[in-house]
Amino acid sequence: MMAAGEVRSVLFVCLGNICRSPIAEAVFRKLVAEENIENQWIIDSGAVSDWNVGRSPDARALSCLRNHGIQMAHKARQVTKDDFLTFDYMLCMDESNLQDLKRKSNQVKNCKAQIELLGSYDPQKQLIIEDPYYGNDEDFETVYQQCHRCCKAFLEKPH
């Protein structure tokens, strides 16, 4: 458990920050709100690429979140050097994101972020959260379910 008044930070990361990472961010925010511990977490999401900077999440991602009673206002952003210094955890969606983040972290002195796959927390052992961008609504629902399981398990672990 965290000490009283202690704040932890987590950055969810995927390729473009319009599908998987905003879903994970929104799910984690909701779980934290349900536990009434919003003041104990700084939560954000970002992209390894700069393709979608400033764009809103994919309409299918927003629709999927709405189906689960979650509203989200987010603009895609790229991961910065500062993120490696300020976030405790950087949880990414697949091996490619993981390699990109680890490569970037090697260029940052005093990197404090623990860089991991979000899927490493999945009780169902689905390590990779596949990009649903070229898929359909069911693929977005799969991402939501994976993110929900993983975020719940991540939140329950001692920090």
Three-class SS state of 90 = strand
**20 catalytic residue (yes or no):** yes
Contacts of 151 (CB under 8 A, 6+ apart): 24, 27, 28, 31, 118, 121
The one catalytic residue in 44, 58, 94, 131 is: 131
Contacts of 34 (CB under 8 A, 6+ apart): none
**100 catalytic residue (yes or no):** no
For the chain, the residue count is: 159
- Residue with tokens 């458990």, as numbered in its chain: 1
**150 catalytic residue (yes or no):** no
The one catalytic residue in 14, 19, 64, 92 is: 14
Assigned token pair, 134 = 């070229």
CB atoms within 10 A of CB 71: 9
Nearest of 65, 64, 120, 66 to residue 92 by alpha carbon = 120
Residue type for position 117: L
**Helix H or strand E encompassing 96:** helix 95-105
User: Which residues are marked as active site?
Assistant: 14, 20, 131
